[in-house]
Structure 1
Amino acid sequence: MILEVAQFRLKPGSGPGFEAGVTKAVDLFRRAKGFRGLRLLKTIEDPDAYQLHVVWETLENHTVHFRESEDFREWRRLVGGFFAEPPKAVHCMETVAASPKPWSDHT
């Protein structure tokens, strides 16, 4: 699995419109080959900064299959007008993971 982390700097005050655009675009992602889920995060310290985390089966599912699709062009049409600057994205793979102990282990 690959995690795409996209960072967005928005025009001041355009967060609600951007969030609505991302919500409308969810089905575009759902149709994409290798798509496994997404999460939009708003930065607490800066209301005009967001991150989009998208899980893909492979890097090519994002960089080739989705990026070269009509659905990607529609995604950009829905949200691109809110960008103050071009988005920045990196692709990550998990190397270490942890989670809290199950409740039963705390006794």
Structure 2
Amino acid sequence: MIYEIAMIPVHKEHIETFRRAFAEVAPLLTRAKGYLGHMLAQGIETPEHFNLIVRWKSLEDHSPGFEASDDHQVFMLGLEEYFSAQPQVYHIEGTTFF
């Protein structure tokens, strides 16, 4: 199992709008091949920083899979206007939480 971790900086004045926009585009993510679940978490000390953690069956399901899809392009178009900088994305391998 692979976890995609995206650190997403959002303009402070657009935090609530970003949350609504994410809810609108999330179905594009959830229908992707290999998708196993996700969590969008807002920072406590820095509420303008979000972390999106997505579980994938394999790295290939995320990249190139979802990232190369039309759904990913629409997903990003629905969110990118709220970013204060480019999201940073990395992957880790592991099992589910205990």
TM-score bucket (shorter structure): over 0.9
SS in 2 for 1:14: helix
Distance in 2 separating the partners of 1:19 and 1:98 = 25
| 1:75-90 equivalences in 2 (<5 Å) | 75-90=75-90
SS of the aligned residue for 1:67 comes to helix
Q: Which residue of 2 is the match for residue 47 of structure 1? A: 47
Per the alignment, residue 59 of structure 1 pairs with 59
Please give the per-residue CA displacement for 1:41-75, whole angstroms capped at 9, x wherever unaligned: 00000111000000000001111110011100111
**SS of the residue aligned with 1:75?**
helix
Task: Give the letter for the 2:17 counterpart.
Answer: G
Matched, 1:32 2:35: no
Deviates more, 1:5-14 or 1:80-89: 5-14
Shift of 1:40: 0.2
Unaligned runs of 5+ in 1: 100-107
What is the rounded CA distance, in whole Å, between the counterparts of 1:78 and 1:31 in structure 2?
Answer: 16
* Greater C-alpha Rg: 1
Per-residue CA distance 1:5-61 (angstroms, 9 max, x = gap): 100111122111111111111210121110000100000001110000000000011
Query: CA–CA distance in 2 between the matches of 1:94 and 1:31?
Result: 22
Structure 1 runs (4+) greater than 3 angstroms displaced: none
Q: What's the offset of the Cα at 1:98? A: 6.5
TM-score norm. by structure 2 comes to 0.93
Distance 1:76 1:66 in 2: 11
Matched, 1:69 2:66: no
Residue-pair matches, total: 98
Identity among equivalent positions (%) equals 29
- Give the 3-state SS of the residue equivalent to 1:47 in structure 2: coil
TM-score by length of 1: 0.85
